[in-house]
Amino acid sequence: MRPPIINVMDGAARKAARSLIHDFGEVEQLQVSRKGPADFVSEADRRAEEILRRELGKARPEFSMLLKESGAIGDPDSDNRWIVDPLDGTTNFLHGIPHFAISMAHEENGELVAGMIYEPLRDEMFWAVRGGGAFLNNRRLRVSARRDMGDAVLATGIPFGNRPGKNEILAALIPVMTRTAGLRRFGAASLDLAYVAAGRYDAFWEFGLAPWDVAAGILLVREAGGFVSDMGGGGDPLNGDSILAANDGLFEPIGRMLRDAIASSR
């Protein structure tokens, strides 16, 4: 049986997903504003966030929230907080690329205790609770068992414009493409982390992400038996400027490879 907090997330996610699926079917008619180079926000974002804000707030009115579009709301001294991205993969969405997700996490006293990433077009619900494991719908998840870097598939995100981290990402591409089985860049960090938890990817790294991009995914990977840290190997991936997630066997060698490549570029 799923914990009540997961049922709350599930209900909110499915209501928001219906709005997103409708808007995705009419993506050419969306009214879109530009916040910066290649950084789009659409009416679909806003509608989905309002649904999540309403549903989560109704179920847990004492929680504060950190929302991608609206920022921090509620009591800043609350012990409980929702961390929510109503549409991760906005650029994919607005270009008609069917790869995007809703991501939300429950943080209690500074610790991630529950998380959910919902991919509505495939009806894939990734969820986890601290100490209770990670799941895809009703199936238990486990990170991949690969130990040979030459067999590994990695994922990353490449910062656009002049955002921090681009040089570091580019420096790592050559060794990754030389020493691994492949590299993917699909444009939705929450799903990248969910795929590491599901064993589809063996590792994921990126720079410059926000808490709503990674909160649920951090818990998913850890509950699936993987490791998550900042790129240094020991810092805070939720509030820091970088993240590295991998299965238990490849976390250290992939981390060393990436750090060496980045250091040599400076």
Domain end, chosen from 120, 140, 160, is at 140
Domain end, chosen from 107, 140, 173, is at 140
119/26 same-domain check: yes
Number of domains in the chain: 2
8/111 same-domain check: yes
94/168 same-domain check: no
pLDDT in single tens digits along all 266 residues of the chain: 899 999 999 999 999 999 999 999 888 777 777 666 556 778 899 999 999 999 999 999 999 999 999 999 999 999 999 999 999 999 899 888 999 999 999 999 999 999 999 999 999 999 999 999 999 999 999 999 999 999 999 999 987 777 767 788 888 899 999 999 999 999 999 999 999 999 999 999 999 899 999 999 999 999 999 999 999 988 899 999 899 999 999 999 999 999 999 888 76
Q: How many alpha carbons fall within 13 Å on the CB side of residue 247? A: 22
64/94 same-domain check: yes
58/165 same-domain check: no
Closest of 192, 136, 5, 4 to residue 81, by C-alpha: 5
Domain CATH number, residue 66: 3.30.540.10
Q: How many alpha carbons fall within 13 Å on the CB side of residue 186? A: 21
- 3-state secondary structure (DSSP) of residue 30: coil
State the pTM of this model.
0.94
User: For residues 154 and 196, is the Cβ–Cβ distance under 8 A?
Assistant: no
Q: Which domain holds residue 220?
A: 149-265
Q: If you compute the radius of gyration of the chain from its CA atoms, what whole number of angstroms results?
A: 18
